[in-house]
Chains A and B, each alone.
Chain A
Amino acid sequence: MSMWNKKEDPPAPRPASAPPAATVNVPEIKKEPTPVSSTPFRTPEPDSRNTATIGKSVKIIGQIFTKEDLYVDGDVEGTIESQENKVTVGPNGRVQASIRAREVIILGQVQGNVETSDKVDIRKDARLVGDITTSRISIEDGALFKGSIDIKKAEPKAAAAAPAAAPAPSPAVATPAQQPYSTVATGAGAPAAKR
């Protein structure tokens, strides 16, 4: 009989009914630490950890400089500069700014010029009014784009050729593609960004 009681004590149903309330709270709290402690199986998480986010309800007027990836889902007016990194304008993002980055992905609305050293990706329902200067471009059907596209193919070649030719020191001459990175690091990128 005691055996029966014991079985009832650690009842399986109890944890089942109790946890829902507990688990609802726990994941919210754990969301932040999990990327740190998560096992190496989760490869995409470092990306999200290194991404600064401007949320839906945030509006920023001014200049944004960042050395990590940036996800904009709110409103930004001014300039965005993240030359070594990726800038993503989310579906709710409304950007009235020029953007300079390594890579730009647009899912929302952008009014302003976009300049990247690598790639511009304009997704299905995105809207971009402005001029693009990039090495590669991808536009999905359904995207609205109004402006010009200027492809700079020489940069990657020069960047690839220069280190091969002179691998030892790489001063300013070495790679045009790397020059902007150094300017960002010194914080002098903003004035240089303007034509």
Chain B
Amino acid sequence: MLTGKLRSIFRRENGPASHGSSHAKGPAGSQPGAAPSANAARIMAAAASRKGGKKDTLQTRQSRGLEQFFFNVRDIVGLSILDCAGANQDNIDFLINLGHKVYSQDLVRNLDDAFGRDPAEQTNPSRIEYFLKQNFEYPPEALDGVLLWDSLQFMSPALLNATVERLYDVMRPKAYLLAFFTATERATQVPSHAFRIADNKTIVLAERDVRNAGQVFNNRNLEKLFGKFESVKFFLTRESLREVIVRR
């Protein structure tokens, strides 16, 4: 009953979305100036109050990548979704209300715990293995969706490849993964954000800090990185961001 209702609500909100073929480069999907939804406004107000009224680091924007992610898992309940944004009430509420089981962790924070802040430290194989064990120890093909947000771009090539390899193992076939990468070439330092889901296509971002980028990413790099996966789809946004939807 409840899940059926949720499904119909979700379908209504989601509307028709283009379900392009793999490797299709989507249009600029991000609309930073778009009027925030009521939920986004509520999240921003709450976040601002926690930050003592500072709103400058908060922004709401629409995300085609997120929209596609949820479009792809529409009409299904009881999925296992891994959210790497760290535990926050908004994401948990949103995913739970869709009827999914939520796995939560703060991947960027865990990176710091395991390696410190410098990607150059992320080369030790035993530490990489430890990190993977700490963060991605799930049964094979256990996850139906993974929200990585911007965490991958702070990983060195060695760690990144190992992480993507492990993600391939723990995701079930046809499962989707969402990741954000900076589209700025030669960016050595990239802001890290906390992501909150306002609705199925709107996110509220709060800047956490600025970090060293693990490597330079372009479409070719990313295609190569996710070469083992079935498809990779890019959405280039106005904020020099590549939103990537990957299908296992």
**Contacts A144-B87, A144-B106, A153-B2: A139 and B101 contacting too (C-beta < 8 A)?**
no
Q: Residue-by-residue, is A135-149 near B (CB-CB < 8 Å gives 1, otherwise 0)?
A: 001111101111111
Query: Known contacts A141-B50, A144-B109: does B102 contact A149 (CB below 8 Å)?
Result: yes
Q: Report how far A137 CA is from B50 CA in the complex, Å.
A: 20
- Chain B interface size, as a band, is 10 to 19
When distances are taken between beta carbons in the complex, the residues of chain A under 8 Å from B87 are 122, 139, 143-145
**B102 and A148: CB pair below 8 A?**
yes
For B82, the closest partner residue in chain A by CB is A148
CA distance A98 to B51 in the complex (A): 34
Contact B92 A150 (CB under 8 A): no
Q: Are B2 and A148 in contact (CB under 8 A)?
A: no
**Chain A window 61-81, contacts with chain B (Cβ cutoff 8 Å), 1 for yes, 0 for no:** 000000000000000000000
Alpha-carbon separation in the docked complex, A138 to B96 (Å): 12
With known contacts A141-B50, A153-B2, A148–B104 Cβ distance under 8 A = yes
**CA–CA, A178 and B42, complex, Å:** 37
Who on chain B is nearest to A153 by CB? B2
Determine whether A151 belongs to the interface, using a CB cutoff of 8 Å to chain B.
yes
Size range of the chain A interface in the assembly: 10 to 19
Q: Which residues 167-184 of B sit at the A interface, judged by CB distance below 8 A?
A: none
With A122-B87, A139-B89, A141-B50 as known contacts, state yes or no: A147 contacts B103, CB within 8 Å. yes
Q: List 16 A-B contacts (CB under 8 A).
A: A122-B87, A138-B89, A139-B88, A141-B89, A144-B86, A144-B87, A144-B109, A145-B87, A146-B105, A146-B110, A148-B101, A149-B92, A149-B102, A150-B101, A151-B101, A153-B2
Given contact pairs A141-B89, A146-B105, A149-B102, a sample of 7 additional A-B residue pairs in the complex whose CB atoms are under 8 Å apart: A137-B92, A139-B89, A143-B87, A144-B109, A145-B105, A148-B101, A149-B92
